């Protein structure tokens, strides 16, 4: 095609596009009204991103105590001119998702979580002071009230995160923090009464910087059993929550899209 023809083609393309927009202007108003989200994904242009994800390695502390990530090299650069590993990993390893299917017979798998639930305003409830004094601390309705007293109502469709400061212990035994009985763990989590309160609102997920949505000494997974059957999800082992504000950040949850999975390691960001 000659230079002139290209220009003419572009021109006519622009014209027909203009006609298209003109012709559909009336319908366009209605379409925009439908397409516009009542809650924009980002309230403001973010200035930076924080990584809320722990690096996973084979000895990453686990709820059950055993190794949950195994890496086997299948190809090596020296021998094969490229590197490639194969993993065997528990779905609930490292910074990871608890999908509704984790604690229900037929709830949503992690792959079925709608994308609009994976991007949300991030609410950070800071219980570091009481967690430092009492490792069995839980996020209670009083902690939620302290947050709303300081910051206003919980945003619609938020992810509510517990900041206990426990991520700092990830490389030590204190992350699991086995008690003297050798089987009961002691780390913070959500209290079921706080979770019941959140269920009355629009929160999409709860998140913790420990190994479990329930506090470590919980005998019955009551928070898991209360929250996940509602069709909402959880995030465990979140890192770096101390770097984001109590209010105003947007969380982006890179949940794995693995068919039928009850959860899975996720790369999680906060845009601040
Ligand atoms: Zn869990």
CA angle 51, 162, 193 (to 5 degrees): 155
pLDDT values of the chain reduced to their tens digit, one per residue, 272 residues: 445 544 445 444 444 444 444 444 444 444 444 555 566 777 678 889 999 999 999 999 999 999 999 999 999 999 999 999 999 999 999 999 999 999 999 999 999 999 999 999 999 999 999 999 999 999 999 999 999 999 999 999 999 999 999 999 999 999 999 999 999 999 999 999 999 999 999 999 999 999 999 999 999 999 999 999 999 999 999 999 999 999 999 999 999 999 999 999 999 999 99
Interatomic CA distance for residues 132 and 69, integer angstroms: 30
Q: Assess if residue 218 is contained within a domain.
A: yes
Asked if residue 126 and residue 3 are part of one domain, the reply reads: no
Asked if residue 144 and residue 28 are part of one domain, the reply reads: no
Q: Assess if residue 33 is contained within a domain.
A: yes
Whichever domain contains 188, its CATH number is 3.50.30.50
Q: Assess if residue 42 is contained within a domain.
A: no
For ligand 1, the distance from its centroid to the CA atom of residue 267, given in whole angstroms, is 17
Interatomic CA distance for residues 197 and 139, integer angstroms: 11
For ligand 1, the distance from its centroid to the CA atom of residue 207, given in whole angstroms, is 10
Q: What is the four-CA torsion angle of 269, 156, 196, 116, rounded to 10 degrees?
A: -50
Q: Assess if residue 53 is contained within a domain.
A: yes
Convert 56-78 into a string of H (helix), E (strand) and C (coil): CCCCCCCCCCCCCEEEEEEECHH
For ligand 1, the distance from its centroid to the CA atom of residue 249, given in whole angstroms, is 24
For ligand 1, the distance from its centroid to the CA atom of residue 109, given in whole angstroms, is 14
Q: Assess if residue 55 is contained within a domain.
A: yes
Query: Coil, helix or strand for 207?
Result: strand
For ligand 1, the distance from its centroid to the CA atom of residue 62, given in whole angstroms, is 11
The total of structural domains in the chain comes to 2
Asked if residue 56 and residue 24 are part of one domain, the reply reads: no
Interatomic CA distance for residues 235 and 158, integer angstroms: 13
For ligand 1, the distance from its centroid to the CA atom of residue 212, given in whole angstroms, is 5
What's the domain range around 79? Answer: 49-271
| pTM for the full predicted model | 0.85
């Amino acid at each position: 095609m000659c230079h002139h023809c290209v220009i003419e083609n572009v021109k006519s393309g622009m014209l027909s596009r203009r006609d298209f927009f003109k012709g559909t202007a009336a319908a366009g108003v209605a379409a925009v009204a439908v397409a516009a989200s009542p809650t924009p994904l980002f309230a403001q242009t973010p200035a930076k991103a924080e990584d809320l994800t722990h690096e996973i390695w084979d000895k990453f502390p686990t709820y059950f105590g055993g190794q949950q990530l195994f890496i086997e090299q299948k190809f090596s650069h020296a021998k094969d001119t490229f590197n490639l590993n194969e993993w065997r990993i528990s779905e609930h390893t490292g910074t990871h998702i608890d999908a509704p299917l984790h604690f229900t017979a037929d709830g949503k798998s992690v792959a079925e979580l709608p994308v609009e639930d994976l991007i949300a305003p991030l609410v950070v409830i800071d219980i570091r002071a009481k967690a430092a004094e009492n490792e069995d601390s839980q996020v209670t309705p009083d902690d939620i009230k302290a947050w709303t007293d300081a910051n206003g109502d919980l945003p619609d469709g938020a992810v509510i995160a517990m900041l206990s400061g426990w991520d700092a212990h990830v490389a030590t035994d204190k992350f699991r923090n086995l008690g003297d009985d050798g089987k009961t763990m002691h780390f913070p989590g959500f209290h079921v009464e706080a979770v019941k309160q959140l269920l009355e609102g629009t929160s999409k997920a709860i998140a913790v910087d420990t190994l479990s949505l329930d506090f470590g000494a919980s005998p019955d997974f009551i928070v898991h059993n209360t929250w996940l059957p509602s069709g909402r999800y959880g995030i465990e082992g979140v890192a770096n929550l101390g770097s984001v504000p109590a209010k105003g950040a947007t969380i982006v949850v890179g949940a794995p899209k693995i068919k039928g999975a009850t959860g899975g390691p996720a790369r999680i960001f906060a845009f601040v």
